[in-house]
Amino acid sequence: MKAFLILEDGTVFEGKSIGSTKEVISEIVFNTSMTGYLEVLTDPSYAGQAVVMTYPLIGNYGITPDMESEKPWPDGYIVRELSRIPSNFRCEGTIQDFLKKHDIPGICGIDTRALTKRLREKGTMNGMITTNEHYNLDEIIPRLHEYSTGDVVSKVTCEETKVLRATGKKVALLDLGAKNNIAKSLHDRGCEVTIYPAHTKAEEILSANPDGIMLSNGPGDPKECTDIIAEVKKLYESDVPIFAICLGHQLMALANGADTYKMKYGHRGGNHPVKDLETNRVYISSQNHGYVVDTTTLDEKVATPAFVNVNDGTNEGLKYTGKNIFTVQFHPEACPGPRDSDYLFDRFIDMMGGTK
């Protein structure tokens, strides 16, 4: 069955339908990872977006247990070529069946290089995936311009508090759209991890006397999270060590008077170099974000840059002055992606007093 990707600038790509045949409007973004497509599909940070995979062949090892949440989150999935016969000893099915099961539409057989170039040149755009061959651009374009991801954090966060038992440090993880491996990375280091829904009050978290607090990754515009920002400010004002990544990093900055802005096309992939400004070492990182902290709005009495993106110079982390708080824009748990920066979990445990 034919399928069409229609961008808000009027560009139309024709391909073949995969997954669900429902019509969807979403923000179109691209990911440059060469492996880890299942982790990308199940990353809650993609809620409200349709993902273009730049690697030309997707699905060659099928669906495996490498899930970062219980279900996929993107609104749509766009690939050049989809493997029809996956081969892996852990394979449990095909991507096309996985997309159908979860009612996610997709399109294959389009020139993803041309699409990615257009998104890089013009910036991230909204788009529609449809199987309707009689589409009307005059009706569709205004709808694309009006689309907004809205409050997607409420959509992806857990519904109730849950605990991963252990005998080490007690960590409170605020789930803003957390991937499974964040809690696992802490639990593997002996931490007892209590996972809280995104709208949990700071008082409830602090009343449990955690040794440390972690703010997770998540989707959407950080400025939409006004209620959460107010609670993050209360967490900042406590003396509890805090480690925040991605959306959590942005919310901590907003809570302390800094600003964020939307990037032209964002960072999404497993190959982004970041420089630690304290050691001058460069690490390859996994990233998924379309917004960034504006360092020109930082009060140096509150926080100073700790990491910078080597490619474009944007901020990749902050160290908070006089506080046991550090935050990074990238994903140190590396699912998918390199493990270069997982030492940051060890730094966080040291901030809490070490493993003893």
The reply to whether 48 sits in an annotated binding site is no
Strand pairing category for 303-309 and 282-294: unpaired
CB-based contact 296:286 (threshold 8 Å): no
Query: Among all chains, which residue has been given the structure tokens 């309707």?
Result: 132
Q: Tell me the C-alpha distance between 275 and 266, whole Å.
A: 18
The reply to whether 287 sits in an annotated binding site is no
The reply to whether 218 sits in an annotated binding site is yes
Q: Tell me the C-alpha distance between 216 and 194, whole Å.
A: 13
The reply to whether 250 sits in an annotated binding site is yes
By annotation, the residues acting in catalysis are: 246, 331, 333
Q: According to DSSP H, which parts of 208-302 are helical? A: 226-237, 247-255
Burial of 101 (0-12, 13-18, 19+ CB in 10 A): middle
The reply to whether 247 sits in an annotated binding site is yes
The reply to whether 207 sits in an annotated binding site is no
The reply to whether 291 sits in an annotated binding site is yes
Question: By 3-state DSSP, what share of the chain in percent is helix, strand and coil, each rounded to 5?
Answer: 25, 35, 40
Q: Tell me the C-alpha distance between 274 and 310, whole Å.
A: 5
User: Measured over all CA atoms, what is the biggest interatomic distance in the chain, rounded to whole angstroms?
Assistant: 66
Burial of 203 (0-12, 13-18, 19+ CB in 10 A): exposed
The reply to whether 127 sits in an annotated binding site is no
Q: Tell me the C-alpha distance between 26 and 127, whole Å.
A: 6
Q: Tell me the C-alpha distance between 99 and 85, whole Å.
A: 16
In the numeric block, which tokens belong to residue 165?
Answer: 């038992």
CB-based contact 185:166 (threshold 8 Å): no
Annotated binding site for L-glutamine: 45, 218, 220, 247, 250, 288, 290-291
Annotated binding site: 45, 218, 220, 247, 250, 288, 290-291
